[in-house]
């Protein structure tokens, strides 16, 4: 509610004064034709009744000139009225001042003309002049109700001379007319002042309401902006990105235009958070936002989708090479070092694109295909760009069939285990067997673990699969020598879920198998995916009594700090270092460093993927005595004798 005191304070504000001036000139412009009509018609009537008794210059030419001036002024106002909204506040104020003085001038002219005309003619003609002057000024004052200064000035210019002139006559009727007109003028002035005050209050109320509405609109716009903005990077957020994608899709589908949806993911960002803290991660994301803003333009719109994932929309796509160039620019830009006081980090970025209409016919499908292209880039072209293709479409269909088959699979009967020995060559003794899952699907046949494990991890099936395989392992261990030990692989999603780890603990306890006979293997990339949760999960398994092994060491982004913080018992050197270890001095140096690292941390070092006697000999020379690979034995099903010490 707008209070009177609010209006009083508003009157001193220049903006309110300007609003009042605009309202005055707008109201006056609508009543001006009526004012000039009253003035001209009444003047012509008086001139006609005096044409025969007064001089021609007074009865004809002077009123003709004044009426012509009024007509010209009216035409000018009508033409200018359409441009009133475009006038500045200063121009409005200047035009009001000009209008006031012109009205004063016209009032003086017409009053003088009426008083000069009064002596001519008979009593009826003189009464006509008195009536003309009184009724005309009253009509004009009513037309000037929105312009207080002009109305008061006109009242003074006409009524005062009129009253004085007729009060000095000896005619009682004319004196009475003068007194009546004076009283009416006083009443009109009071009405005028009251009306103008109400008019001004109304304008001020309207201005106050508009100001409040403008402020509410500003706040609403700001809220909308914040709701669609990622505060950390300054880029649009996921909500805005999806809305822009929907809008772009509607426009493109109507005009048959090609555009692309892209998804960017930072490679190695998790390690920055783990090593330097979330504050450092925020600094990196802020810098990524600044760099991506430099790429943004009329054709390219970027947004932060969440975490270290960003989205982009590219319009006017003609060739795939155009997208590859954009992707290369972004990847190169994000590959530059990120520095802050006390530290420097280097990251890369992988990018996936999906083109409309080639890759999808709906916003959701395009985004999904761009995400798949990103996944492919991270798997095969880390730090590069992948554009969704027909081959990817084929892979999606195959993985979809595989996922459906896995969902409907009888895990108990279709899944089996093979065991591969891990040998301590220094004493030629099997120290452990690694359990490896195998799937024979009635519909698809033998499915490689690299495929069905990947599908299970990308869906909600991995926990069910892990639990089923773990029960099989424990059941097998019950049939083996009590000294036999088995290594079992856990996925990133397994150790990333406290509930999944709790279920694993329950299964082990229910089996009656001694936890110390189990070694849980996790990869570097699985640990880095969510280091804090992974460390907590591995600590739970360690407290249970199980052993922990870090698999594929050297392929990820681990550091000495990460390894030191994990409850590890073993480190398995990735098989990639063994391919040319018998001839590659650099590979030998790396393996020697890892062996020394394990010795310093009192960890068992295991070399996996050993296939030749030459590789085994070099490893032994480098100090690695525990090995695994086809050279020592292939994975085989349990036959009652294969899993022994």
**Whether residues 335 and 429 fall in one domain:** no
Q: Where are the beta strands (DSSP E) in 171-270?
A: 259-267
Sheet of strand 348-356: strand arrangement: 300-306, 309-315, 259-267, 348-356, 385-387
**Whether residues 605 and 513 fall in one domain:** yes
Percentage above 70 pLDDT, the chain: 93
**Structure tokens, 112:** 């003088």
Task: Indicate the DSSP class of residue 576.
Answer: G
CB 503 within 8 A of CB 531: no
| pLDDT score of 553 | 80
Residue 165 has pLDDT above 50, yes or no: yes
φ, ψ of residue 170 in degrees (nearest 5): -90, 5
Tally of CA atoms within 13 A in the half-sphere of 633 that contains its CB: 19
Rounded Cα distance between 318 and 639, Å, is 61
**Whether residues 69 and 107 fall in one domain:** yes
Could you give the C-alpha distances from 280 to 284, 287, 582, 623, 640, in angstroms and in order? 6, 11, 42, 39, 54
CA-based nearest residue to 513, from 544, 484, 537, 478: 478
Rounded Cα distance between 127 and 414, Å, is 121
Residue 409 has pLDDT above 80, yes or no: yes
Domain annotation covers residue 102: yes
Which range has the worst mean pLDDT, 163-167, 308-312, 497-501? 163-167
Rounded mean pLDDT of 19-31? 77
| pLDDT score of 558 | 52
Residue 321 has pLDDT above 80, yes or no: yes
Name the 3-class secondary structure at 515. Answer: helix
Residue 13 has pLDDT above 60, yes or no: no
Confidence of residue 635 (pLDDT cuts 50, 70, 90): very high
> Higher confidence at residue 155 or residue 385?
385
Report the interhelical angle of 462-478 vs 498-511 (nearest 10°). Answer: 20
Domain annotation covers residue 416: yes
| pLDDT score of 624 | 94
Q: Is the peptide bond before 357 cis (omega within 30 degrees of 0)?
A: yes
What's the 3-state SS for 286-321?
HHHHHHHHHHCCCCEEEEEEECCEEEEEEECCCCHH
Rounded Cα distance between 386 and 377, Å, is 6
**Structure tokens, 380:** 């095969």
**Whether residues 268 and 309 fall in one domain:** yes
Domain annotation covers residue 518: yes
Rounded mean pLDDT of 426-446? 92
Could you give the C-alpha distances from 433 to 427, 604, 611, in angstroms and in order? 16, 15, 17
Domain annotation covers residue 229: no
Percentage above 90 pLDDT, the chain: 27
CA-based nearest residue to 387, from 376, 368, 373, 375: 373
The 10s digit of each residue's pLDDT in 613-632 is 999 999 999 999 999 999 99
Residues ≥6 apart with Cβ < 8 Å to 625: 424, 425, 426
Residues ≥6 apart with Cβ < 8 Å to 327: 262, 351, 353, 384, 385
Domain annotation covers residue 223: no
Domain endpoint, select from 177, 212, 247: 212
Residue 415 has pLDDT above 70, yes or no: yes
| pLDDT score of 3 | 46
> Whole domain around residue 88: which residue ranges?
4-212
Rounded mean pLDDT of 156-184? 83
Residue with tokens 């067997």: 433
**Whether residues 128 and 171 fall in one domain:** yes
Q: What is the helix (H) or strand (E) element at residue 526, kind and residue range?
A: helix 524-529
Residues ≥6 apart with Cβ < 8 Å to 211: none
In this structure, are strands 348-356 and 604-608 parallel, antiparallel, or unpaired?
unpaired
**Structure tokens, 576:** 């990639």
Residue 519 has pLDDT above 50, yes or no: yes
| pLDDT score of 246 | 92
**Whether residues 355 and 409 fall in one domain:** no
Give the CATH number for residue 307.
3.30.70.270
Residue 221 has pLDDT above 70, yes or no: no
The full DSSP string for 198-215 is HHHHHHHHHHHHHHHHHH
Rounded mean pLDDT of 35-59? 87
Rounded mean pLDDT of 120-142? 83
| pLDDT score of 298 | 85
**Whether residues 628 and 521 fall in one domain:** yes
**Whether residues 131 and 276 fall in one domain:** no
> Higher confidence at residue 245 or residue 73?
245
**Whether residues 19 and 156 fall in one domain:** yes
pTM over 0.85: no
Q: State which of 225-239, 337-351, 491-505 shows the largest mean pLDDT.
A: 491-505
Rounded Cα distance between 506 and 541, Å, is 11
Rounded Cα distance between 285 and 307, Å, is 9
| pLDDT score of 2 | 40
Residue 222 has pLDDT above 70, yes or no: no
**Whether residues 617 and 473 fall in one domain:** yes
Rounded Cα distance between 547 and 569, Å, is 6
Rounded Cα distance between 390 and 394, Å, is 6
User: Which residues, in sequence order, are bridge partners of residue 435?
Assistant: 419
CB 529 within 8 A of CB 501: no
Confidence of residue 350 (pLDDT cuts 50, 70, 90): very high
**Structure tokens, 43:** 């003047």
CA-based nearest residue to 534, from 516, 520, 514, 515: 520
Report the interhelical angle of 123-143 vs 148-167 (nearest 10°). Answer: 160
**Whether residues 460 and 509 fall in one domain:** yes
Residue 28 has pLDDT above 60, yes or no: yes
Rounded Cα distance between 598 and 375, Å, is 33
Cα–Cα–Cα angle for 432, 434, 435, rounded to 5 degrees: 130
The full DSSP string for 20-70 is HHHHHHHHHHHHHHHHHHHHHHHHHHHHHHHTTTS-HIIIIIHHHHHHHHH
Rounded Cα distance between 83 and 81, Å, is 5
Rounded mean pLDDT of 226-241? 84
**Structure tokens, 138:** 């009253």
What is the pLDDT of the chain when averaged over all its residues? 84
| pLDDT score of 560 | 61
Number of domains, the chain: 3
| pLDDT score of 232 | 87
> Higher confidence at residue 468 or residue 278?
468
Domain annotation covers residue 348: yes
φ, ψ of residue 303 in degrees (nearest 5): -155, 155
φ, ψ of residue 256 in degrees (nearest 5): 55, 45
| pLDDT score of 9 | 40
Domain annotation covers residue 217: no
The 10s digit of each residue's pLDDT in 548-572 is 999 878 655 555 656 778 899 999 9
Name the 3-class secondary structure at 375. Answer: helix
User: Which residues, in sequence order, are bridge partners of residue 264?
Assistant: 310, 351
CB 509 within 8 A of CB 499: no
CA dihedral 88, 89, 92, 97 (to 10 degrees): -140
User: Which residues, in sequence order, are bridge partners of residue 340?
Assistant: 343
Tally of CA atoms within 13 A in the half-sphere of 378 that contains its CB: 17
**Whether residues 82 and 41 fall in one domain:** yes
Give the torsion sign (CA, 274, 279, 283, 286). positive
Give the CATH number for residue 598.
3.20.20.450
Q: State which of 187-201, 217-231, 318-332, 387-401 shows the largest mean pLDDT.
A: 318-332
**Structure tokens, 272:** 């920055």
Domain annotation covers residue 233: no
Rounded Cα distance between 342 and 518, Å, is 42
**Structure tokens, 481:** 């020598």
Residue 508 has pLDDT above 90, yes or no: yes
User: Which residues, in sequence order, are bridge partners of residue 53?
Assistant: none
Residue 460 has pLDDT above 70, yes or no: yes
CB 552 within 8 A of CB 524: yes
């Amino acid at each position: 509610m707008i209070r009177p005191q609010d209006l009083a304070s508003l009157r001193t504000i220049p903006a309110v004064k300007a609003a009042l001036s605009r309202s005055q000139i707008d109201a006056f412009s609508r009543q001006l034709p009526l004012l000039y009509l009253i003035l001209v018609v009444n003047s012509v009537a008086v001139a006609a009744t005096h044409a025969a008794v007064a001089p021609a210059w007074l009865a004809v030419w002077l009123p003709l000139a004044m009426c012509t001036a009024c007509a010209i002024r009216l035409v000018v106002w009508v033409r200018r009225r359409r441009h009133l909204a475009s006038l500045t506040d200063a121009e409005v104020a200047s035009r009001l001042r000009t209008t006031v003085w012109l009205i004063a001038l016209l009032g003086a002219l017409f009053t003088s003309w009426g008083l000069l005309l009064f002596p001519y003619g008979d009593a009826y003609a003189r009464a006509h002049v008195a009536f003309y002057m009184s009724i005309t000024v009253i009509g004009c004052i009513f037309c000037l109700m929105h312009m207080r200064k002009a109305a008061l000035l006109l009242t003074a210019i006409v009524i005062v001379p009129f009253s004085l002139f007729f009060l000095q006559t000896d005619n009682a009727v004319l004196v009475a007319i003068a007194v009546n007109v004076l009283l009416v003028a006083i009443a009109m002035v009071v009405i005028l002042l009251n009306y103008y005050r109400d008019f001004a209050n109304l304008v001020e109320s309207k201005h106050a309401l508009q100001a409040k509405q403008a402020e509410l609109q500003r706040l609403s716009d700001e809220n909308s902006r914040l709701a669609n903005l990622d505060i950390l990077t300054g880029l649009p957020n996921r909500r805005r990105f999806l809305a822009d994608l929907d809008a772009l899709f509607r426009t493109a589908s109507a005009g048959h235009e090609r555009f692309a949806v892209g998804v960017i993911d930072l490679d190695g960002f998790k390690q920055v958070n783990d090593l330097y803290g979330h504050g450092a991660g925020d600094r990196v994301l802020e810098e990524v936002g600044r760099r991506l803003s430099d790429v943004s333009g009329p054709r390219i719109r970027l947004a932060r989708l969440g975490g270290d994932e960003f989205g982009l929309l590219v319009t006017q796509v003609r060739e795939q090479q155009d997208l590859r160039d954009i992707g290369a620019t972004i990847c190169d830009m994000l590959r530059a070092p990120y520095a802050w006081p006390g530290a420097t980090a280097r990251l890369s970025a992988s990018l996936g694109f999906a083109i409309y209409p080639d890759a999808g016919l709906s916003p959701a499908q395009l985004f999904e295909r761009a995400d798949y292209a990103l996944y492919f880039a991270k798997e095969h072209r880390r730090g590069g760009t992948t554009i969704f293709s027909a081959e990817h479409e084929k892979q999606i269909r195959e993985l979809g069939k595989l996922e459906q088959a896995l969902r409907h699979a009888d895990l108990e009967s279709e899944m089996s285990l093979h065991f591969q020995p891990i040998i301590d060559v220094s004493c030629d003794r099997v120290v452990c067997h690694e359990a490896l899952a195998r799937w024979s699907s009635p519909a698809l046949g033998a499915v490689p673990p690299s495929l069905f494990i990947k599908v299970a991890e990308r869906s909600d099936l991995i926990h069910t699969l892990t639990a089923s395989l773990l029960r099989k392992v424990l059941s097998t261990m019950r049939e083996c020598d009590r000294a036999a030990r088995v290594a079992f692989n856990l996925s990133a999603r397994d150790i990333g879920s406290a509930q999944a780890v709790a279920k694993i603990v329950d299964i082990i306890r229910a089996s009656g198998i001694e936890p110390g006979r189990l070694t849980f293997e996790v990869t570097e990339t699985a640990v880095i995916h969510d280091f804090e949760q992974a460390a907590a999960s591995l600590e739970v398994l360690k407290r249970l009594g199980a052993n922990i092994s870090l698999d594929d060491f050297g392929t990820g982004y681990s550091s000495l700090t990460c390894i030191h913080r994990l409850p590890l018992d073993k480190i398995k050197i990735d098989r990639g270092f063994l391919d040319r270890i018998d001839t590659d001095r650099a590979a030998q140096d790396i393996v020697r460093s890892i062996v020394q690292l394990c010795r310093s941390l009192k960890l068992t070092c295991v070399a996996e993927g050993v296939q030749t006697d030459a590789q085994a000999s070099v490893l032994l020379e480098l100090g690695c005595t525990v090995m695994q690979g086809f050279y020592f034995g292939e994975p085989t099903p349990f036959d009652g004798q294969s899993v022994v010490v």
